[in-house]
Amino acid sequence: MSRILCAAITMGLVAPALAATPAVGQGLNVIAIGMFLVFVVATLAITKWAARRNNSVADHYAAGGKITAMQNGWAIAGDYMSAASLLGISALVFTSGYDGLIYSIGFLASWPIILFLIAEPLRNLGRYTLADVLSYRLKQRPIRAFSASSSIVIVLLYLVSQMVGAGKLVELLFGFNYTSAVVLVGVLMVVYVFFGGMLATTWIQIIKAVMLLAGCAFMAFMVMSRFGFRLNNLFDHAITVHGKHEAIMRPGGLVSDPVSAVSLGLALIFGTAGLPHILMRFFTVNNVKAARKSVLYATGIVGTGYALIIVIGFGTIALVAQDPLYHNSNGAIIGGLNMVAVHLAHAVGGNVFLGFICAVAFSTILAVVAGLTLAGSSAISHDLYATVIRKGQASDKDEMRVSRVTTLVLGVLSILLGILFEKQTIAFIVSLTFSIAASSNFPVLLLSIYWRGLTTRGAVVGGTMGLVTAVVLTILSPTVWVQVLGHASAVYPYEYPALFSMMVAFVGIYVFSVTDRSARGAWERSAYQNQRVDCELGIIAKSAS
C-alpha cells in the first residue's frame, strides 16, 4: 500500500512538473504551494488509514453504515459545495451580477425536497445505490441498466466541471500547463477512491467542508470590512465599477427569457435529488433518524456557505474587476473568469490567504470528484456487473475488483473530457448536469416511491426519454450548437432543457405505465403496498444493518 501511494504521489506531483510552463499570474506562490502540498499529503494519509478498513463491498460503497449524522451532514455539504459553488457562482456574479444568485438560491432550495420526500424512503429501501430503491418492486435488470446508464452520464458531466476548475486552479498556482494540471487531479482522485472507498471520501469531504466554510467566512468578513460592514456600500461600489452598472442589480443579465429561467430553476431545485453521489450518502448512516438529521445539518452548512458566496461574488466586482494586478496584457482576468474568487483572496488577505483559498478550492474539487467517481464505479460494479451481468451471483471480491477497474477507467475519461471542455464555464456545465439528473433519475425515483401505478416499462422508457431529451436539447442549444459547434443559429433557442425534458420524462413514465397491461406490470402495482410498509418501517434497512 505504501509503495503504491508513493508511486501515485510521484506520478501525480513530479510528472506534471516536467511539463510546467512559466507561471500564470504573479509568479509561483511558495506559501500557496506549501499549503497545497500539506493538504495533498494529509488526504493521502487519510486514504492510507481508510484503506485498512476498506475490506468489503459495504465498506467500499457505504463506509459500513458507520458514519454519524453530524459527520454525514458535513460530508454531504462537502460533496455538494463543489467548484461551481466557490469558483463558478463567483464568476457568474462577477459577469452577470444579480442573476448569478439564481444558482445559490436554486442549490439551497433543493434540500427541503430531499428532506421531506427522499431521505427517509431512500434510506429504508436501499443499501448502496439509487437502483437498489428503484428495483424494490420493479424488474431488476432493466431498471438497474437504466439507472446505471443515467448515473454514468451525470457523473461524467459533473466530473468535467470539477476537472476544468481544478485544472485552471493548479495552472494558476503552479504554472503547470492546463493538461498536466488535469492529469494531476485525475491521479489523486483515482488513488482516493481506489484504496480508501467511501470512508476516505467521507473524511476528505468533511475536512474540505470545514476549510471551505472557514475560508469563505474570512473572505466575506474582509470584503465587508472594506465597505464599513454595510451591504449597500458594497453594492454601490460594485455598480460603479462594473461595466453594466445598474443592470447588474436587475434580473436578465444571465437568463433573459422566462423559459430559460424556469428551466434553470427546475434543474437546480430537482436535479439535486437525482445526483447519484449525493443519494449514496444516505446509505452511510445506520438509521432513518440519522439520515434526516444529516439533511438538516447539510442544509444549515450549505445555506451559510451560499450566503457568504453572495458577498464574495459582489466582492470580486468591487475589488478585482478594475485592479490591473489581476489582468493580463489583453485586459482579461488572469486564469480566466473562474479564478476571480482566487484573486479576491489575494486582494483581501495577501499571499498567505491566497495559499489557503487555493488549498480549499483544490480540496473542494478533489472531494467532489472522489465522491463522483465512487458513485460512477458503484453504478457499474454493483448495478451493471453484479446484478445485470452476473444476475446477483458475483462475489464481494469480484465486485470490488470491477469497482476498482471502473475507477481507473473513469479517471482516464474525466481527464480526457476535462481537457476537451477547457474553455467552458464551470457553472454552465453543472447546470446541464442538474438538468439531466432532474429529467431522468429524479422523476423515476419520485414516482417509484409515491405512485402505485409505476411499472418497469414506464420507468425505463420514460426515464430514458427524459435523459435523451435533456442531452439532445443541450446539444441543440445556443451554448453548444452555436458557441461550440460553430453553427449560425441554434435549433433549440433556450439555454437550459429541464422544463421540457422533465415534462417529457413524467409524461412518458405515466403513459407507458398506465398502458402496461402485462402480468408483470399488474404484480408491480400490487407490490406497492408492501413497499409502502417497508418504506415507513425500514425493514430492509434494519436487516441490512
Q: Mind giving me the DSSP string for 101-118?
A: HHHHHHHHHHHHHIIIII
User: Is residue 464 one of the residues assigned to a domain?
Assistant: no
Residue 104 · residue 309 · CB < 8 Å: yes
Q: Is residue 324 part of a domain?
A: yes
First to last CA, the chain: 29
Domain that holds residue 205: 2-421
| pTM of structure | 0.82
Residue 542: inside a domain: no
Using an 8 Å Cβ cutoff, are 242 and 253 in contact? no
- The per-residue pLDDT for 17 is 37
Q: DSSP of 293-354, one letter per residue?
A: HHHHHHHHHHHHHHHHHHHHHHHHHHHTTT-GGGB-TTSPBTT-GGGHHHHHHHHHHHHHHH
Establish if 494 belongs to a structural domain. Answer: no
Question: Distance between CA 38 and CA 42 in Å, rounded?
Answer: 6
237 is a domain residue: yes
pLDDT along the chain (545 residues), means of 10: 41 38 48 76 82 77 83 88 76 84 80 83 82 87 89 86 76 73 81 78 86 92 93 90 80 78 88 86 85 90 90 91 84 82 89 82 76 84 82 79 86 85 70 88 93 94 94 85 81 89 96 94 90 74 41
pLDDT at position 116, please?
82
Number of domains observed in the structure of the chain: 1
Whether residue 404 is contained in a domain is answered as yes
CATH number, position 78: 1.20.1730.10
Q: Give the span between the Cα atoms of 260 and 264, in whole angstroms.
A: 6
- On whether residue 436 sits in a domain, the answer given is no
Q: Is residue 498 part of a domain?
A: no
